[in-house]
Amino acid sequence: MITRSDNYVEYCRQTAKHARDVHDLALRGRDQQEVTKVIHQHIVEAVELRPEDDLVDVGCGDGILLRMAGEIGVHSAVGFLATEEEVAVVRRAGLDVRQALSDHLPAADASASVVVCNCVLPVVPREKIPATLHEISRIAKPHARIFLGEVSVAEEPDPTPRFKSRREMLSFLLHNRGLRAWFGMLRRMIWWQITAKPAVILPGTGISFFAAPDEFVAMAGAVGMEILRYWESDYPTRNNYLFRKSA
């Protein structure tokens, strides 16, 4: 029997363990590197990133925003990732990355002039969202620019299909994801069989948090963020928000 887990931290850990290079941590797919670059260029423009800035990127993925910040020549740029396995991969690219979850950030009060948290909040458990927003506000300097991106505005159906059997899953992967995905899953199934380990799938596509704009702006306002504007992200069911930290 195959069970399913929506533990996103474990999904990130397993992704890092099997990553061929740092770009696998972008989590949009190896063939979406150009999309990832464009999205982060839009973030750079939205926050008006400048050389004098101290940037914190919460959930920095493959570190692309940190690399862009380095090209701009920012004063400092630090990224946080959920697992030590991810951190090890990104540090090999020479970036300043540390392990942390979004609701407990190991950064000093008022230490960042720009805070970015893109495509992270949808996978944070709803009960941890208030603490996450508090931490983001805490580390932001007065008048800091805060970009919270790709926040789901409504409940989203999980795009990952559910399977009744291993044969059904393998057939789906072969016809929809290709031979490499099929072979990778077959190897995993054989390993489960040999080691008698439980068969657990970590799709990484479950959404834990969503909020209509009025609700989300109010949640952010409660911890000292002033809304500057919000707009539809590159994903139609999600919004980007640009805030300023209160003085």
Print the SS3 string covering 172-191: HHHHHCCHHHHHHHHHHHHH
pLDDT value of position 76: 98
CA atoms within 13 A on the CB side of 147: 28
Predicted pLDDT at 213: 97
The identity of residue 29, as a single letter, is: G
pLDDT of residue 207: 81
pLDDT at position 73 is: 97
- HSE-CB for 12 with a 13 A CA cutoff: 26
For the chain, 247 residues long, the average pLDDT of each consecutive 10-residue run is: 72 82 72 81 97 98 96 98 95 95 97 97 94 98 98 82 75 79 75 73 74 97 98 91 95
* Torsion-angle region of 152 (φ positive above 0: left; ψ -120 to 50: alpha; else: beta): beta
Tell me what pLDDT residue 187 has: 76
* Helices within the chain (DSSP H only): 8-17, 33-47, 64-72, 84-91, 129-139, 166-176, 179-195, 213-221
Beta carbons of 212 and 188 less than 8 angstroms apart: no
Question: What is the predicted pLDDT for the residue at 161?
Answer: 72
- The amino acid at 208: S
List where CATH 3.40.50.150 sits in the chain: 7-156+205-245
Q: Please, is 151 exposed, middle or buried when counting C-beta atoms within 10 Å of its C-beta (0-12, 13-18, 19+)?
A: buried
Structure token digits, residue 243: 């805030």
Biggest alpha carbon–alpha carbon distance for the chain: 59
Superfamily of domain 7-156+205-245, CATH level 4: Vaccinia Virus protein VP39 (3.40.50.150)
State the CB neighbour count (10 A cutoff) for residue 33.
14
User: Global pTM?
Assistant: 0.85
CA 36-42-47 angle, 5° bins:
125
Q: What does the CA dihedral 127, 129, 131, 135 come to, rounded to 10 degrees?
A: 160
- pLDDT at 11 (0 to 100): 81
